[in-house]
Amino acid sequence: MTQRNTAAPGHIEYVLRLGDNALILGQRLSEWCGHAPVLEEDMALANTALDLIGQARLLLTHAGRLEGRGRDEDQLAFLRGERDYRNLTLAELPNEDFGRTVVRNFLFAAFQVPLYQRLTASSDAELAAVAAKSLKEARYHLSHAGEWVIRLGDGTDVSHDKAQAALDYLWPYTAEFFAANPIDDAVSAAGIGPAWHNLEADWEAAVVPVLVEATLTVPARTPFASYGKFGRHSEHMGHLLATMQTMQRTYPGAQW
Amino acid sequence: MVTVMLTESQAWQVLGDVPDPEIPVVSVVELGIVREVASRAGGLRVVVTPTYSGCPATEVIADSIRAALAAAGAGAVDIETRLDPAWTTDWMGDAARDKLRAYGIAPPSGTAAAGGVQPIRFVAKSQTCPHCGSTDTERLSEFGSTACKALYRCRACREPFEYFKPI
């Protein structure tokens, strides 16, 4: 069992980032429920969202225990202010269209897979257990999204152009995957999780061959930086939270 | 009042009759969801593991376990959720796989430990149709009615079927 009040702030922050990534992308993907282009993809996106929200529940529950202030998964998911969320900016961006949705799922799953792989050896046993479980799910997400990236990129002129536009739009936000602040050094030194920059080579090795097979042009790196994982979010985050939090804000403590 | 307590092996028998809510032909024991049953003062402690992180059946399963054990006179039942080791379809025995097939769901092929997810490419591995036994099948969707299943179609008998993915 997790002990109370023993976790370093960086440790809590690290687990919050993982949980918030899953929560916010899960929330975005659930917007597709009933709206996807075909029924099969409606189910696929809803099931991916369900996996992510399930991961978020485990991770936020764990973060709440580490914090030791009695906050549970619901309080962390629904009652924080915007700047207290630690998700990657990429996760909160609007879905736009099916192309951008699957390209984002692909870029994100290719990040989650090596991350969870390394976290299975975390010095935090609970985190290692969540990672081992979530890794199995992330692999299916990667395979599903990757197939769609190839199908759209190497498809019709229209699907190719939309997939390329999605990639060009999303790519600058992926630099944030590998950005760190001083808190991260302590976390990786304690063996809790990998240093973010150590994941970049694995991510590129998973991403680039699929983009090439999809006949998409890999965009160049730019100086653009986003800071969602440090609590500074895009203009889209407030709108997402307004929708996500409205039930708990209106009826505090409401339960299913 | 005399309370008749269940032994651990009696409790396993009771749990062997608790169906999975989404695939009622197999029990929660056959799926490998129940990991441990232990007697303790005044009742039982049951350790369960979730299948998928977001599986909506997890809470229903805990309720069914509690209800079945209560009906059998188990006294107080504590249900503990344990994540480690992570649930795998490799824990499903041959009997459970046969029941899935008879129900129209193709059981997981190969082992999850050996890497159940194929590399990214268009043509998915063919699975054997549980209706007619043909291997001339095609995948329609990586995700079926639940996260644990993919949707297939048999080209021979033209019937759709679900495939329980190795995980």
Peptide bond into B85 cis (omega under 30): yes
State in words which class domain A9-217+225-250 has: mainly alpha
The answer to whether B54 contacts A143, with C-beta atoms less than 8 Å apart, is no
pLDDT given at position B1: 44
Separation of alpha carbons B67 and B128, rounded Å: 37
For A112-167, write each residue's pLDDT tens digit: 999 999 999 999 999 999 999 999 999 999 999 999 999 999 999 999 999 999 99
The answer to whether A44 contacts B141, with C-beta atoms less than 8 Å apart, is yes
Q: Best of A21, A33, A139, A140 to disrupt the B interface by mutation (most B CBs within 10 Å)?
A: A140
pLDDT given at position B123: 60
Region A40-57: what's the mean pLDDT? 94
Contacts of A89 (CB under 8 A, 6+ apart): A173, A176, A226, A227, A228, A229, A233, A234
Q: Using an 8 Å CB-CB cutoff, list chain B residues near A50.
A: 52, 54-56, 147
The answer to whether B83 contacts A48, with C-beta atoms less than 8 Å apart, is no
Q: How far is CA B24 from the centre of its chain?
A: 9
Percentage of the residues of chain A whose pLDDT score is greater than 90? 91
DSSP-assigned letter for residue A233: -
Q: Is B3 on the interface with A (CB under 8 A)?
A: no
Q: Which helix (H) or strand (E) holds A77?
A: helix A73-78
The answer to whether B112 contacts A136, with C-beta atoms less than 8 Å apart, is yes
By C-alpha distance, which of A138, A137, A122 is closest to A195?
A122
The domains of chain A are located at 9-217+225-250
Q: Using an 8 Å CB-CB cutoff, list chain B residues near A147.
A: 120-122, 142
For residue B106, the cross-strand partners are B163
Separation of alpha carbons A195 and B98, rounded Å: 46
Q: Best of B35, B48, B53, B139 to disrupt the A interface by mutation (most A CBs within 10 Å)?
A: B53
By C-alpha distance, which of A136, A166, A135, A134 is closest to A148?
A166
| Residue of chain A with shortest Cα separation from B83 | A129
Q: For residue A100, what are its two tokens?
A: 């951008």
Q: At residue A229, does pLDDT exceed 80?
A: yes
For B67-87, write each residue's pLDDT tens digit: 999 999 888 899 999 999 999
Q: Are A44 and B141 a contacting pair, CB within 8 Å?
A: yes
pLDDT given at position A2: 45
What pLDDT band is residue A3 in, cutting at 50, 70 and 90?
A: very low
B133 min Cα distance to partner chain A (Å): 24
Instruction: Report CA torsion sign: B68, B73, B74, B79.
Output: positive
pLDDT given at position B118: 55
Residue B45's φ and ψ, nearest 5 degrees, are -115, 125
For residue B139, the cross-strand partners are B152
The domain B8-81: what is its CATH number? 3.30.300.130
| Residue of chain B with shortest Cα separation from A148 | B122
For A175-189, write each residue's pLDDT tens digit: 999 999 888 889 999
User: Could you report the predicted ipTM of this complex, rounded to two decimals?
Assistant: 0.84
Q: Using an 8 Å CB-CB cutoff, list chain A residues near B84.
A: 125, 128-129, 132
The answer to whether B147 contacts A47, with C-beta atoms less than 8 Å apart, is yes
Residue with tokens 């809790």: A192
The domains of chain B are located at 8-81, 92-164
Q: Is A55 on the interface with B (CB under 8 A)?
A: yes
What pLDDT band is residue A5 in, cutting at 50, 70 and 90?
A: low
For A13-41, write each residue's pLDDT tens digit: 999 999 999 999 999 999 999 999 998 89
Q: Using an 8 Å CB-CB cutoff, list chain B residues near A137.
A: 52-53, 147, 167
Q: Classify B1 as helix, strand or coil.
A: coil
Q: Is B146 on the interface with A (CB under 8 A)?
A: yes
Q: Is B114 on the interface with A (CB under 8 A)?
A: no
Q: For residue A152, what are its two tokens?
A: 């759209």
Q: Is B149 on the interface with A (CB under 8 A)?
A: no
**Spans of chain B below 50 pLDDT:** 1-2
For residue B38, the cross-strand partners are B45
Q: Is B52 on the interface with A (CB under 8 A)?
A: yes
